[in-house]
Amino acid sequence: MSSDQFERGLKCRKEVLGEAYVEASLSKADDFNRDFQEIVTEYCWGGTWGRGVLSKRDRSILNLGMLAGLGKSQEFKLHFRGAMTNGLSIEDLREILIQVAVYCGIPAGIEAFRLAREVFADLDIDVSNMDEGK
């Protein structure tokens, strides 16, 4: 598949999620899910993320809230990493998760913080003393 929107989506998807992840997703596609991968790239990434109206940072904030509220753990972790790529600081991420807990419920907040810690551990990021010096 090749269209301007698909190419824009592919570029954006790689910038946010990482080239290795996207290439692996596309290369693992088979006759059953190839069309779906193309739709995700063209419409989700090219038709939404690639519009240019909202920044990638803003879209990351929205995605984290929606994915946490929906309980979509794997996608949340993927987009949590992407949010850091898109310029969100650890402090920003903490505030987003606190707001998730208030608006989506404490169980959603607990899960979001747990998933965030998994991502931090995978990336070897120590957040245990981030408030020192205040």
pLDDT in tens, 51-69: 989 999 999 999 999 999 9
d(CA 92, CA 95): 5
d(CA 46, CA 10): 7
| Residue 88 contacts residue 124 (beta carbons within 8 Å) | no
Domains of the chain: 1-53 (no CATH), 54-126 (1.20.1290.10)
pTM: 0.89
pLDDT in tens, 6-59: 999 999 999 999 999 999 999 999 999 999 999 999 999 999 999 989 999 999
- Cβ atoms within 10 A of the Cβ of 68, count? 29
Torsion-angle region of residue 83: left (phi > 0), alpha (psi -120 to 50) or beta? alpha
Q: In which residue are the tokens 């607990």 written?
A: 110
Residues 6+ apart with CB under 8 A from 81: 17, 18, 119, 123
How much is the pLDDT for 130? 79
